[in-house]
Structure 1
């Protein structure tokens, strides 16, 4: 997965810490300062002990500041012309035990910087190529604002592997947040075909669209549907009037965010307890949850109201029926149940105590 310029995690003996990620320019500047410090320190050593050096090109044999700078640069770069040489014992000892290690450190610093850049680029290219190769039947989340992030978190909390979620967003802050959450990110405008193709929309199984404007949502939906006619598309719109347009653009499901929030506000105003229950159903991980699960073999032929779970709807032949609908008076093989259940249970799991039982979809 792609993790450059983002927050990644290191795990050491069960301790999870965010890695410190610095800008490449900051790293380059730091290394240049270190190289300059080595040069400056070596020049100072040579100049302070200049009486211990001969300048074979100068009749006076004296070494000045310019000679010290010259000697340092050719020595640290291992060029070594031999025109300036140390002759005193102190100068030779300084060269042996100080300047030689400084020369090694200088070379390691310069070569290490080049190798690290090349190695990092190679590793990143390999990771991206491997990610693209294995990315099949994944989920694409367009827009990583409040709605997009909540949708991605819900998927992850319900068992979806974060490595199978790809975020598309043009904003750097949103991309950083997605990377921090362990998700791959494609930078760009989701209404553009090339951006969606980089996200692998053609091979995606689901696409969640949560842009800031309904017009962008319609354009993104149209483009996604043209690239992938089989993907299941869920889109969020702000205005109820735009729901039919987004559906005509190719969305399988459309959620009206402003209408949902407004209804919740109205219910909370009329009945605080009802609003509390509704918010509980919409909040993951605590209290009650709305979930979908398979019908168990032993539940075939029973009425929805007689099951341990609180059944609110039955899915039969891709149609949704309310639990009181005469069509689903008796549950049949292949039905799926929409239930209200404790949040601690996995949404797709049967009731506690029946986990080893066969689904009605299993063969006899």
Structure 2
């Protein structure tokens, strides 16, 4: 027996609905009243023997000292015995079933508590409404560790059926709930509730618990954006101006890096495979054109090998798309950047080292200006090489 078993049994007994027990007692009382009345009127017994005969028959003990003789008496005894057996069996099985169900709920709660306790560098999402659903989907697509907190019991019960989500039914404005969710070891907190007051209170509480926590909050009203920043939020997103995807990108920033590479389209698949092998996701791609102040950006969201294989399968089948992509690579001299998200910085560093070994990367978190300077140097080298070839 585990050390948590007595506590689980205690909690399970506490959680068994009292109305079930009350209805059972009422039904039993009605049956006993029926037995005593029938014993008095049909069996012609006195009150003491009527109580005795009723209890013995309902309990199916059958001592045989009082025996029904007439057909009416026999039919009464049969109905009393069947009623007693049926009622006791029903009540007993119902209580056992409810007790077992409660034990399982408590056991799963203990298991979830242990799982959450072992987490680190995870995200906590408060509120699983319209915006929270989008944020959760974006995080789970990238294999990020996620704990969801929501007050609505119906929502959390549905989420508990999913194996890829850890969920807490509770109030995130309470310190105990945030601590249960492992806020001290979390990398980010995302406030997606539709109540700005709750978001403000959670932000203040969370910042007191963890100074380094990355906090992203939703603001339903524009005038509350400034208040949320002042209370300790790192990023505040207004759904009036953007949606759940923007909240996700704001939340992922602690585990987001920009890598700059130089290669042609033939090396792209290998580059993607290395990134995905480390459990990272490619969020978008930037093409650095000479003399443009800002790079051209394209959102790609590659988080699985199936997506990559599907993309390159399409490229192989569509010659025009392949030529267009090759033309882009040629125009930027193969220099482009990826924004990549990962489970943590340690994994991202390993991924960067793997790309360096394959000569697929020459810079991390470089500015557009820095990349343009490097591009110019590459351009000079290539001109020299071309001149040497001509000679």
TM-score, length-normalised on structure 1?
0.54
Q: Tell me which of 282, 293, 299 is aligned to 1:340.
A: 299
Write the distance in 2 (CA, Å) between the matches of 1:155 and 1:67. Answer: 72
Matched, 1:301 2:262: yes
Q: Tell me which of 170, 190, 193 is aligned to 2:175.
A: 193
Matched, 1:243 2:243: no
TM-superposed CA distance for 1:88, in Å, is 1.4
Encode CA deviations 1:16-72: one digit per residue, 9 max, x unaligned.
xxxxxxx94665566556646755775687577x2xx4xxxxxxxx33799656632
Write the distance in 1 (CA, Å) between the matches of 2:167 and 2:100. Answer: 21
TM-superposed CA distance for 1:102, in Å, is 3.9
TM-score, length-normalised on structure 2?
0.51
Write the distance in 2 (CA, Å) between the matches of 1:156 and 1:26. Answer: 41
Gap runs ≥5 in structure 1: 1-22, 54-61, 262-278, 283-291, 309-319, 332-336
Contact in 2 for aligned 1:141/1:166 (Cα 8 Å) = yes
Partner of residue 166, structure 1: 148
Structure 2 counterpart SS, 1:147: helix
Q: Tell me which of 124, 128, 151 is aligned to 2:109.
A: 128
Write the distance in 1 (CA, Å) between the matches of 2:291 and 2:38. Answer: 94
Q: Going by fraction, where is helix more abundant, 1 or 2?
A: 2
Write the distance in 2 (CA, Å) between the matches of 1:293 and 1:354. Answer: 25
Partner of residue 144, structure 1: 128
Structure 2 counterpart SS, 1:258: coil
Partner of residue 15, structure 1: none
TM-superposed CA distance for 1:157, in Å, is 5.5
Contact in 2 for aligned 1:175/1:185 (Cα 8 Å) = no
Contact in 2 for aligned 1:144/1:175 (Cα 8 Å) = no
Q: 1:146 to 1:28 in 2, by over 3 A?
A: farther
Structure 2 counterpart SS, 1:130: helix
Partner of residue 232, structure 1: 214
TM-superposed CA distance for 1:79, in Å, is 7.6
TM-superposed CA distance for 1:235, in Å, is 0.9
Structure 2 counterpart SS, 1:181: helix
* Equivalent residues, number: 273
Encode CA deviations 1:120-175: one digit per residue, 9 max, x unaligned.
443333222211111113432223333234433444466567xx432143xxxx33
Q: 1:233 to 1:73 in 2, by over 3 A?
A: same
Encode CA deviations 1:95-115: one digit per residue, 9 max, x unaligned.
886554544333333444444
Write the distance in 2 (CA, Å) between the matches of 1:186 and 1:328. Answer: 50
Structure 2 counterpart SS, 1:300: strand
Taking only aligned residues, the RMSD between alpha carbons, in angstroms, comes to: 5.1
Partner of residue 167, structure 2: 184
Higher relative contact order (CA 8 A, sep 6+): 2
Write the distance in 2 (CA, Å) between the matches of 1:90 and 1:69. Answer: 21
Contact in 1 for aligned 2:36/2:54 (Cα 8 Å) = yes
Gap runs ≥5 in structure 2: 1-15, 161-165, 247-254, 270-283, 314-349, 358-391
Write the distance in 1 (CA, Å) between the matches of 2:78 and 2:190. Answer: 64
Q: 1:301 to 1:96 in 2, by over 3 A?
A: same
Matched, 1:210 2:169: no
Structure 1 counterpart SS, 2:240: helix
Q: 1:37 to 1:230 in 2, by over 3 A?
A: farther
